Structure 1
Amino acid sequence: MDKALRWPKDTVEKSGVFVNDRAGFIITDNLWVMPISVMTGFSVLEKLQINDASMLEERVINVGNEEALNLLRRSLESKRALTEFFFPDACVEQSVKCFPVIKEDIDGNEAEHKFNVKMILNKKNNSVLSAEVGGDFLNQLLSFLAFPLGSVIELLRDHISSDWCISNLYSSAESLGLEWFKSKECKNMLVFPQLASYYGCEKQMIKLVEMPSAKWTCSASCIKCYADGWYCFKPTPCKHGLRKAELIEQNPKLQNGGSDSGGSFVEDSKRFMIADNLHISPISSISLIITKGIDFLISDFIEKEIIVDKAKVLSLLGVMLISNTVLTDVFVPKQKKRSRSHYM
């Protein structure tokens, strides 16, 4: 599509996006959002055990694009995002609990599609070197890049700590009354976001609701004239004698085109190698050596076939947000305390 489409006027206005501009809010250190009021302020101070007002200082801090990205990173890895964001030098580096690996079968459906993955494990340090996968499993991983953040939190909320800042942000948006939002649609965009049209795959275990494909009607032209720049709302037909054409967004993942959903990002028949940190490369006879280097012994490694069900796919989705040893954390969970892993 080369035409700009607009949200309905009652959904997005120039004065803001989701919440009413005239409303005020308190955001706590762990990103819990509350409508501002005197009693809410007292409640927050009481919870923080602050009895002396002289302990407080008011500051005005400018937040730009760089600061917003930094705050997003803190919200994904911290329990006190605002403190670590505004006063990083005063904070002691703390470890973050690993995302708990989900062990139970989410749906209990024996007929559910599962992935066969070949893992190469390092016996010496009990870690995953890499995984050999088909295109179907890789399509599932790649689809995570298209998931709205609100959908990720909604999928994982039963398995993550309530101390996680991004979880608090989602829960507080969910609990805020409609009177604080510009419209019901604005709230739903946050707590029930939809996947962009054609961003889903056929064999996904985690399926999100997709937005409908875009359609546009040209009332005085055929498609060819429209592509050539014919003005669609002229009172006369185009040079081909047509008065109406309907343009429908196409699915770029379908080989022969069309507006059906589904398709895939990579071919299912292809084989790929995924490193422990989720670096992806086409599999080849030397790809393993290139990834690891030459300083290793073949005897240190074993090959193991693993069945990946929906529970493991959800675990991958959660762990990839906070870890750089994703495959090891999901498929070879450790009991010892792990240090914070940075992904940005």
Structure 2
Amino acid sequence: MEWTIPRSRDLAIAFHFLQGKTLVQFIISAFSKNATIRLKMLVDREHNRVVFAESQKDFVDILLSFFTLPIGTIIRLLRKQPQPLRMGCLNSLYEGLENLEAAYFKNDICKNMLLRPRNPYADECRKLKLNIDDTEPTKYYLCKNYQSDISRGKHLHSGGDSLSIFGNMRCKCRQPMDHEVCLEDNGVEKEDNGDEGVFVAGTSTFIITDDLQIMPMSTAASLALMKNLNVMDMKALEEMNFDVTLEQKLYHPDLVCFQRRYPIQTSRLEDISIVDKKIAFKITVRKSIQKVLFAEAEEDFINFLFSLLTFPLGSVLNFSGPTSLWGSISNLWSSVEDCNYRYTLRKNDGFLYSVYIGTLTTTNTTTNHYSSNRISKFISVLNSKSSTSPMGGGYMTGPSTFMVTDDLVVTPLSPISVFSFLESQNVPVDDLEQRMVSMGIEEALRLLEACFISQSALTKVFVSQKGSKQQK
């Protein structure tokens, strides 16, 4: 049996998390011509269920590439679906970002960085047979002064040599960085991996369960799965082959839906260091129902909220742990983390174990190798959030104060807008209460999780928080 999918940027991947009840539902879109992926499935006809599927590296590479997608990319792709799906507060957070004027950002580039965040494994994902990420490849730019000095054979001082991943950004010498250049990876030529997979070893073959557990192929594993599913009659089993290609529209739930049956309960709060200082802000609560109506926050809290859109999905799972809230994607993550599975990963990639962010504060600069004729030297990527320092800072300019609704819509704070909002909510003045709250590591992680599962993220995290200070 052959099913085909369109070569269209409009169809991508649909992640559907309905509080852990529905799992991963995806429509794959790709750009490479004549690519084909084969899946062999063992189906239990008596109970109308997939026992497991067999696949080589190509399909597993696609599944693993989900973890590299930034949350903002997932939201953007979800919105392109014929029936757009919503993920908690993340859609409203993204929409608020879209509607916010550019004047509130440090420069014109910052807003685009958040709306179309970079995939940390973009180069690897472009090697996939079916690539679900439509983000444009990263380009690098130098200013004309740097380009002119290189053309004259001059070596520049190592202390101030920078490039940009965005065209027309201002260099530290105040010139536009609009000369595109090519980079080498630290001066080392990338090895040719031949038939190797993108994220897994080239000869690896896998068993994929209906709830997205992945394990190396073995008879013992397949027999154990049939025993766990209480499959007694071998005559009820049927083998089905599926070829996924790229010419006509595909949407077949029997292929693309996996159902979660085995919830996982783990937590990694103690392993994560997200914020190095507490962020304080004011919330306005409707007393009668104990619900946050809105928050008044400065740019540090807004930087945190918008930065969530840049996190790869693997980062979020690394922070929160693969809980049952994530459905089958948790099983996929746990499969990769399992020690018995690690040998199938390409050793040089360190994949997934580096797809996370250990802190939400400023990180070290990235050093790249640029060569032109005989000139070869190391230069740093200029942080687009600051045109004067590679270290940069947040996305938002300050001082600024913003209004953040319970579902994380961010707008500039205005008394008139606040009164209009309260009127739309039909809230009596004597039912309002203001409180000062603060966000540290624990609250940040709870807010991160609440963004995915609730449309009342602020209420979920801060109204029930012990120790919230009530303003008198």
Query: TM-score, length-normalised on structure 2?
Result: 0.50
Please state which structure has a larger fraction of its residues in strand. Answer: 2
Q: Which residue of 1 aligns with 2:380?
A: 248
- Superimposed CA distance per residue, residues 91-119 of structure 1 (whole angstroms, 9 cap, x where no aligned partner): 9xx9x99x9999x99899xx952111211
Amino acid at match of 1:172: S
Gaps of 5+ in 2: 1-139, 141-179, 466-472
Q: Which residue of 2 aligns with 1:36?
A: 217
Q: Which residue of 2 aligns with 1:138?
A: 302
Q: Which residue of 2 aligns with 1:202?
A: none
- Superimposed CA distance per residue, residues 9-35 of structure 1 (whole angstroms, 9 cap, x where no aligned partner): 348767531012321111223322111
Q: 1:333 to 1:38 in 2, by over 3 A?
A: farther
Structure 2 distance, partners of 1:105, 1:178, is 24
Q: CA deviation at 1:55?
A: 3.8
Percentage of pairs with the same residue: 26
Amino acid at match of 2:257: F
- Contact 1:117 1:131 (8 Å CA) reproduced: yes
Amino acid at match of 2:337: E
- Contact 1:101 1:333 (8 Å CA) reproduced: no
Q: 1:280 to 1:246 in 2, by over 3 A?
A: same
Structure 1 distance, partners of 2:298, 2:324, is 33
- Contact 2:206 2:215 (8 Å CA) reproduced: yes
* Worse-matched range after superposition: 113-122 or 162-171: 162-171
Q: 1:177 to 1:105 in 2, by over 3 A?
A: closer
Q: Which residue of 2 aligns with 1:284?
A: 414
- Contact 2:299 2:396 (8 Å CA) reproduced: yes
* In the alignment, structure 1 residue 172 sits paired with structure 2 residue 172: no
User: May I ask how many residue pairs the two structures share in their alignment?
Assistant: 276
Amino acid at match of 2:215: M
Gaps of 5+ in 1: 72-81, 196-204, 219-231, 236-242, 335-344
Q: How does 1:109-128 map to 2 (within 5 A)?
A: 113-128=277-292
Q: Which residue of 1 aligns with 2:181?
A: 3
Q: 1:3 to 1:280 in 2, by over 3 A?
A: same
Q: CA deviation at 1:44?
A: 1.0
Query: TM-score, length-normalised on structure 1?
Result: 0.66
Q: Which residue of 2 aligns with 1:190?
A: 352
- Contact 2:216 2:341 (8 Å CA) reproduced: no
* In the alignment, structure 1 residue 326 sits paired with structure 2 residue 427: no
- Superimposed CA distance per residue, residues 285-343 of structure 1 (whole angstroms, 9 cap, x where no aligned partner): 23334545535132332111112221000111112122222112212359xxxxxxxxx
Q: 1:112 to 1:5 in 2, by over 3 A?
A: closer
> What is the aligned-residue RMSD (CA, Å)?
4.1
Q: 1:179 to 1:327 in 2, by over 3 A?
A: same
Q: How does 1:1-344 map to 2 (within 5 A)?
A: 1=140, 2-5=180-183, 9-10=190-191, 16-61=197-242, 85-86=256-257, 113-157=277-321, 160-161=323-324, 164-175=327-338, 176-183=340-347, 185-186=348-349, 188-193=350-355, 206-207=359-360, 212-218=365-371, 232-233=372-373, 247-254=379-386, 256-259=387-390, 261-291=391-421, 294-297=424-427, 298-333=429-464
Q: 1:291 to 1:173 in 2, by over 3 A?
A: farther
Match of 1:34, SS state, is: strand
Q: CA deviation at 1:53?
A: 2.8
